[in-house]
Chain A
Amino acid sequence: MVWKRICGADEVAENTVKRFDINGIPILLVNYGAGFRAIPPICPHMEEPLEESGVVVRCVLTCTKHLWAWDLKTLEMRGETEKPLKTYDVKQENGLVLANIEEELTYEFEDADDDDDDFFK
């Protein structure tokens, strides 16, 4: 486990997202009211930047570009969403949000070294 400090828990308002750079790894921190999620900053569908396209309402993150959506409590996919979100484990300590970042999480189409077996992941 490599717990890294992301920010103070009050730095990301409820139902908003904020992008951070943690030792060169881009992280999107999502405050969905009942907690935080740390995810790669792009939509797994077509690489839309969730910092701009993501909307959080009632614990659901929706990418407004093509309407993929995930329940942030359960990580269940909503509607026509076809890929799960990848997430870094998150915990809160002493008013800080920490994420377990061992290596960068990526989706296919943006991993320079992907091989064809990765295409469906």
Chain B
Amino acid sequence: MKITVESKSDTCAFDCGDKETILYAGLRQGLNLPYECATGTCGTCRARVMSGEVEVRWKEAPGGNKLKSEKGDILMCQTRARSDCVLRVPSQVAASDQPRPARRRGIIRDIRKLTSDVAHFDLHLSEPMDFEAGQFVVVETGDLSGGRAYSMVNFDNTATQVALILKRKPGGGFSDWLFARENGEAHVEVFGPLGRAVFRPEESKNIVCIAGGSGIAGMMSILERAARVDYFSHYKGTVFFGVRTLADAFYLEALARYVAVSHGNLEVTIALSHEAATTPTHPDHPTLKLASGMVLEVAARAMEARYDNVIAYVAGPPIMVDAAIRSLIMGGLPASDIRYDKFS
């Protein structure tokens, strides 16, 4: 089926299969259609159907709560075409300069718990994938409807294997499904890479990462990318990793390794929100600092008047991300130097 998109900048057209959403069809053909979460929660990929038949998969998607469905408004990430369609998209649409996402099959292997509610798993891909540090993939299972977004923890060119982390949520269908498969393997569908909160070495700026819990995933990919080009020989890196207690922190060996090769220019602070930091540094990893308080408060204190030539990455629960963005802007960082990833 043919999808025609009228945007503020241009009119463009692309093919759409009957088993894919309109958003994914446009993205895999290299268009930069507007989106953030790609999984129905944020509402960024809204469009108006001007003609044609569509089928909305997840009608109660929280990102759709402001849409005017009587006018034909839809979320492109939740909608499949049932005929040729003409859509209007209220933003600029052009060719994307990021790696084109594609659908691949994947096998989840090596699920292992990192803390009581966070697990690491490897995803083996049927076809290699190029991605940028900070991007994510959407994973779907045959057993459960809808996709879940996971940020890549590693960084590799033409990767056939990516590392992801999963936070177990009470009543979270996919996390229960996956936690039940510890030491086993599972077959899934993968769409990606997605996401614009990316780091490229040519940024040539000091970087600040503020992560809440599993939001550290994309930061690990950014640190890996930076370490490979010895980025911290020229620029400073400051990472704030927010967790409830010391026992909830993970990837500490890897973080300490990045600090060790950073020429003294990478500083990692673990912020503990639900217990006091009793020592200034981690008892087992003395190159990692400890602080008490909410991660964004710890970050705001440490970064005061240090926002010059900085690009900031923020990832975590939406409330934390919103508050961190506010604090960065109040601190004087322009919006164009902030990249974020909200999990819902």
A residues with CB within 8 A of B: 46-47, 53, 55, 57-58, 60, 62, 64-69, 78-80, 82, 108-109, 116, 119-120
Q: List 11 A-B contacts (CB under 8 A).
A: A58-B332, A60-B334, A64-B325, A65-B322, A66-B36, A67-B325, A67-B340, A69-B336, A78-B336, A109-B66, A120-B8
CA of A63 to CA of B70 in the docked complex: distance in angstroms? 28
The answer for the CA separation of A47 and B67 in the assembled complex, in Å, is: 11
| Smallest CB gap from A83: residue in B | B90
B90 touches A120 (CB 8 A): yes
**Segment from B43-51, B223-231, B253-261, B267-275 that makes contact with A:** B43-51
Which residues of chain A come closer than 8 Å to B325, judged between CB atoms? 64, 67
Q: Taking the complex as formed, is B144 at the interface, i.e. its CB lies under 8 A from any CB of chain A?
A: no
Residues of B within 8 A of A108 (CB): 90
| Given known contacts A67-B325, A116-B48, A82 and B332 CB-to-CB distance under 8 angstroms | no
Besides A60-B335, A69-B336, A78-B335, 16 other A-B contacts (C-beta < 8 A): A46-B44, A55-B330, A57-B332, A60-B334, A62-B329, A64-B325, A68-B335, A69-B335, A79-B334, A79-B336, A82-B8, A82-B92, A109-B68, A109-B90, A116-B50, A119-B90
Q: A46-B43, A62-B329 are in contact. Are A67 and B335 (CB under 8 A)?
A: yes
When distances are taken between beta carbons in the complex, the residues of chain A under 8 Å from B335 are 60, 62, 67-69, 78-79
The size of the chain B interface, using a CB distance under 8 A, is 24
Q: Is the Cβ of A69 less than 8 Å from the Cβ of B44? A: no
Q: From known contacts A62-B329, A64-B329, A65-B322, infer whether A46 and B66 are also in contact, taking CB-CB under 8 Å.
A: yes
CB distance from A46 to the nearest CB of B (A): 6
Whether the Cβ atoms of B44 and A57 lie closer than 8 Å is no
Q: Which residues from chain B contact A66 at a C-beta distance below 8 Å? A: 36, 44
C-alpha gap A55/B328 in the complex (Å): 10
Q: Which residues of A contact B2 (CB under 8 A)?
A: none
Q: How far is the CB of A44 from chain B (nearest CB, A)?
A: 10
A79 to B334, CA, bound (A): 9
Cα A69 to Cα B91 in complex, Å, equals 15
B120 CB–A CB distance under 8 Å: no
Q: How far is the CA of A78 from the CA of B337 in the complex (A)?
A: 11
